[in-house]
Structure 1
Amino acid sequence: MSPSVPPALERPHFIGIGGAGMSGVAKLLAQRGARVAGSDTKESETVEALRALGVTVHIGHDAANLAPDATAVVVSSAIRAENLELAAAGERGVPVVHRSEALAALMESGRPIAVAGTHGKTTTTSMLAVALTALGLEPSYVIGGDLDVPGSSARHGDGEIFVAEADESDRSFHAYAPEVAVILNVELDHHANYASLEEIYESFETFARGVRPGGTLVISADQHGAVELTSRLRGRSSLKIVTVGESEDADLRITRISPRGLTSEVTVVLDGRMMTFTVSVPGRHYAHNAVAALAAGIAVGAPARNLASALAQYTGVRRRLQFKGEAAGVQVIDSYAHHPTEMAADLEAIRGAVAGTPRPDGGGDPRVLVVFQPHLFSRTRELGAEMGAALAAADASVVLDIYPAREDPIPGVTSEIIIEAARAAGADVAAGHQRAAIPDVVAGMAKAGDLVLTMGAGDVTDLGPLILARLES
């Protein structure tokens, strides 16, 4: 057994192993030599990628899935107490470990970079992982999404640096003690776990105070919540704070972001010197993510100019403005955006990318058509009006029923909250209660030159290929 695998994780069993966060930790353990097993509700490309690494994956949850020699059961906050495998672990005295605790144990011996924030974590973590790998630094990483192919969300590298996405949704990022922490933004979200913005601030402050003595916090100089958090953290002598953004007082200041179609050119001032590099995805928010990644890489000793050049090798992550295909002159792109800020940012990025591109019929800029699936009842209850307002930036939208994920329905909370707010904001929006009919509906709306954006954190992503097939026919 590799010494890089803690004894408690030599034979782990993951409940919900196919999830974005769980599969990454499972993959990393398998690459380090652990005998990994787990279960999930259905087959998926991620499950197949894990099996290719020798991981045993059961479909369906059953107490019999838990092997007699299991050293730990790994769970996420989405696993309910009545889960049969979790109950079996309790009866047999098998230790139960939260995913964040398992990840923290794997990070402990290296030089961890933990990337947090209400939005942009996956993208920024991915940018760092790709750039540091391109520089030959052989980082390990665990990301909350696949870079290009299923199973690419994690990798064991022989270098010291460990890059990890730090999830604030259930306060699990408190388990980490990084050398470098990144906080991209701080906003109210995850309403089932946080009652107020003040609780969010307290949670991010706890995360920041977990940075190792002498470590670095990279944080936005522009976003209001991040600025407020910075003011609360100033004065901690052992923590070096590096601010990034377009503000005049930013330590790493962005002076220009120039759209170049589906890419951007970004100019920053570092130690009084100007430096320009390419970000291979569109949108101002992605440019900010790249500069945060640049600052974090510099903090662990990567050469600034080499790192800036290497960041151009990042070409996107699955479900983050991912091009799915083109049919009948209509492009289909998939977006993971599910919070109003993310929705507005991705729509702005797409608008900027297609501006000035003539449609075949001469009808001006391409239209942006959105198929949006709300994620979680609690989020829709609290932010539904803002989601509707964000959809006003699209030319037309179809809003699906709420994807429940881990939540039970809340009486009176439906996607109609979003639809009504969107119409009040002047949006052209329709309800899409019949999921099977969506490909026909969208194909009837779209014309050559238009762009269709499937948007949301649920299974709306599965509609992209179906829409393309309907357009083809």
Structure 2
Amino acid sequence: MAPGIPTALDRPHFIGIGGAGMSGIAKILAQRGAKVAGSDAKESATAEALRALGATVHIGHAAGNLADDATSVVVSSAIREDNPELVRAAELGIPVVHRSDALASVMDGMRSIAVAGTHGKTTTTSMLAVALKELGLDPSYAIGGDLAGPGTNATHGEGDIFVAEADESDRSFHKYDPQVAIVLNVELDHHANYASMDEIYESFETFAGKIVPGGTLVVNADQSGAVELVARLRDLSMLNIVTYGDSAQADVRVHKVTPRGLTSEVTVLMDGKFLTFTVSVPGAHYAHNAVAALAAGVALGLPAHNLASALGKYTGVKRRLQLKGEEAGVQVIDSYAHHPTEMTADLEAMRGAAADSRLLVVFQPHLFSRTQELGKEMGEALALADASVVLDIYPAREDPIEGVTSALIVDAAKEAGAEVTAVSDKTTIPEVVAGMSRPGDLVLTMGAGDVTDLGPEILARLAQK
């Protein structure tokens, strides 16, 4: 067995190893010396990166992919029970480990920061990972997206700090025992797993209750759901609570956010002193994420001034307002936003960064259940753009729901006064965008599905104008 690795994860097999959460854990285990294997639906840069670390990656799911000597099969909530590798694991008596349990195991014994919230987790976790590395602390981290600098979503560091994105979607964040936890926001999402806001609050309460005694909860002082969560917490005697935000009552108060093109200058009031630093991504939403990261690092014992300076080294995460390129005077930017609050934040950020530009959006809804519950709000968010194209719903792990289509979003957008067009054939999008755009425009591909693949195709078509 490799040192520092639980027996069950010495020779793990990951089903869906190319996924953002799964690949991160697999990379860390491979770097620690585990014999990692797994399978994924298609080839990818992630699969190649895993192979470069010594992992065996099969393309396609088949019972024969699973080695008889595997010590566990690691799955996420997206893996269906009839997956042939999962069926084979049952036949061989190989233990099945949920992704969250695997992540909890690799975090065990380290000083950990867990970042939770309905949106903003990846950015905030990434900011912390970059800043801690800049300070020479060499943290381990597991993130839901690839950092623009290191180009990876996870790594095993030699330091004693572990920064993790804590996923609330399937309640898997209940598995962690962080020293510091961040709650960015609490909103109704993941409708297949949560039936009401009360269930959401109960889930976040459980997460807060897992913070180690004497640990710290860093929480948004401005967002109503986060404020309500604090009010609902029953036993605060063993928990330090640090609030951040615009509120005059916030412990770390955001005094001012000044746009500087595609960056922002942020001034906070902390412990009676003003502190100013730069965030290399646009918009108040991302500035507040940086302030949450600052508060968490200080709670872990790091000097505020040094940490603030290090946060300026963060240059973004792939798919979080990532500039894909420019052709014919048109910039193409990619956004992972798929919840109305995220959509609004990114659209407002782009408005602030380029006030004189037209903003065109290619939006792909993600999940039938989310569209059913939040389609109206998605349409209203698109009213912030000058014009939008809405694709068919990206199903991901879900089966269709009768009557739930992109028309819910398109109709709501039109009611809100938006200029919006429904396009079912994704292959026509480059031509559609080329016809809509003119020099000086910003084109935003938006959504959590494969809409990201359209960026290079749009740029190629613009180059022909």
Per the shorter chain, which TM-score range? over 0.9
Length, aligned pairs only: 464
1: CA distance, partners of 2:150 / 2:83: 26
Do the aligned partners of 1:190 and 1:379 also contact (CA within 8 Å) in 2? yes
Show the counterpart of 1:362.
Answer: none
1:270 CA displacement: 1.0
2: CA distance, partners of 1:469 / 1:270: 47
1: CA distance, partners of 2:302 / 2:43: 40
Structure-2 change in CA distance of 1:429 and 1:74 (3 Å): same
The aligned runs of 1:200-279 (5 Å cut-off) are 200-233=200-233, 235-279=235-279
1:404 CA displacement: 0.1
SS in 2 for 1:323: strand
The aligned runs of 1:299-310 (5 Å cut-off) are 299-310=299-310
Show the counterpart of 1:412.
Answer: 403
1:149 CA displacement: 7.1
1:380 aligns with 2:380: no
SS in 2 for 1:343: helix
1:145 aligns with 2:136: no
Question: In structure 2, what residue type is equivalent to 1:429?
Answer: V
1:393 aligns with 2:390: no
1:235 CA displacement: 4.5
1:234 CA displacement: 6.0
Q: In the TM superposition, what whole-angstrom CA distance separates every residue of 1:210-258 from its partner, at most 9, and x where no partner exists? A: 0011100000000000000011126421110000111011011111111
Give the TM-score normalised by the residue count of structure 2. Answer: 0.99
Which of the residues 450, 453, 460 maps onto 2:451? 460
SS in 2 for 1:294: helix
Show the counterpart of 2:331.
Answer: 331
SS in 2 for 1:436: helix
Show the counterpart of 1:359.
Answer: none
Do the aligned partners of 1:216 and 1:299 also contact (CA within 8 Å) in 2? yes
1:2 CA displacement: 3.8
The sequence identity of aligned pairs, in percent, is 75
Q: In the TM superposition, what whole-angstrom CA distance separates every residue of 1:419-449 from its partner, at most 9, and x where no partner exists? A: 0000000000001101110000001100000
Question: In structure 2, what residue type is equivalent to 1:391?
Answer: L
Show the counterpart of 1:366.
Answer: 357
Question: In structure 2, what residue type is equivalent to 1:322?
Answer: Q
Question: In structure 2, what residue type is equivalent to 1:146?
Answer: D
1: CA distance, partners of 2:30 / 2:150: 16
Q: In the TM superposition, what whole-angstrom CA distance separates every residue of 1:399-422 from its partner, at most 9, and x where no partner exists? A: 000000000000000000000000
* Structure 1 ranges of 4+ moved more than 2 A: 148-151
Do the aligned partners of 1:339 and 1:387 also contact (CA within 8 Å) in 2? yes
SS in 2 for 1:298: helix
SS in 1 for 2:189: coil
Question: In structure 1, what residue type is equivalent to 2:183?
Answer: I
1: CA distance, partners of 2:188 / 2:277: 32
Question: In structure 2, what residue type is equivalent to 1:433?
Answer: S
The aligned runs of 1:69-80 (5 Å cut-off) are 69-80=69-80
SS in 2 for 1:413: coil
1: CA distance, partners of 2:348 / 2:120: 15
Show the counterpart of 1:360.
Answer: none
1:403 aligns with 2:419: no
Which of the residues 432, 440, 450 maps onto 2:423? 432
Do the aligned partners of 2:149 and 2:315 also contact (CA within 8 Å) in 1? no
SS in 2 for 1:310: helix
Show the counterpart of 1:322.
Answer: 322
Show the counterpart of 1:361.
Answer: none
1: CA distance, partners of 2:76 / 2:240: 32
The aligned runs of 1:144-223 (5 Å cut-off) are 144-148=144-148, 152-223=152-223
1: CA distance, partners of 2:25 / 2:106: 9
SS in 2 for 1:162: strand
Do the aligned partners of 2:2 and 2:10 also contact (CA within 8 Å) in 1? no
Do the aligned partners of 2:114 and 2:163 also contact (CA within 8 Å) in 1? yes
Do the aligned partners of 2:116 and 2:183 also contact (CA within 8 Å) in 1? yes
Show the counterpart of 1:9.
Answer: 9
Gaps of 5+ in 1: 356-364
1:134 aligns with 2:134: yes
1: CA distance, partners of 2:122 / 2:183: 12
SS in 2 for 1:100: helix
SS in 2 for 1:290: helix
1: CA distance, partners of 2:340 / 2:148: 26
Q: In the TM superposition, what whole-angstrom CA distance separates every residue of 1:342-377 from its partner, at most 9, and x where no partner exists? A: 00000000000002xxxxxxxxx2100000000000
Gaps of 5+ in 2: none
Show the counterpart of 2:440.
Answer: 449
2: CA distance, partners of 1:235 / 1:86: 40
Show the counterpart of 1:346.
Answer: 346
2: CA distance, partners of 1:410 / 1:373: 17
Question: In structure 2, what residue type is equivalent to 1:70?
Answer: A
1:301 CA displacement: 1.3
2: CA distance, partners of 1:405 / 1:374: 11
Structure-2 change in CA distance of 1:95 and 1:235 (3 Å): closer
Give the TM-score normalised by the residue count of structure 1. Answer: 0.97
Do the aligned partners of 1:45 and 1:150 also contact (CA within 8 Å) in 2? no
Structure-2 change in CA distance of 1:150 and 1:276 (3 Å): closer
1:299 CA displacement: 1.1
Do the aligned partners of 2:201 and 2:229 also contact (CA within 8 Å) in 1? yes
1:295 aligns with 2:295: yes
Show the counterpart of 1:83.
Answer: 83
2: CA distance, partners of 1:303 / 1:12: 39
SS in 1 for 2:321: strand
Do the aligned partners of 1:46 and 1:151 also contact (CA within 8 Å) in 2? no
Question: In structure 2, what residue type is equivalent to 1:441?
Answer: V
1: CA distance, partners of 2:2 / 2:184: 35
Q: In the TM superposition, what whole-angstrom CA distance separates every residue of 1:17-74 from its partner, at most 9, and x where no partner exists? A: 0001100000010011101000000001111111111110000000000011100000
Question: In structure 2, what residue type is equivalent to 1:407?
Answer: E
2: CA distance, partners of 1:470 / 1:329: 13
Q: Could you say what the CA RMSD is over the residues aligned between the two structures, in angstroms?
A: 0.9
Do the aligned partners of 1:374 and 1:401 also contact (CA within 8 Å) in 2? yes
1: CA distance, partners of 2:43 / 2:3: 32
Do the aligned partners of 2:3 and 2:33 also contact (CA within 8 Å) in 1? no
Question: In structure 2, what residue type is equivalent to 1:96?
Answer: V
2: CA distance, partners of 1:152 / 1:58: 20
Do the aligned partners of 1:49 and 1:150 also contact (CA within 8 Å) in 2? no
Question: In structure 2, what residue type is equivalent to 1:314?
Answer: Y
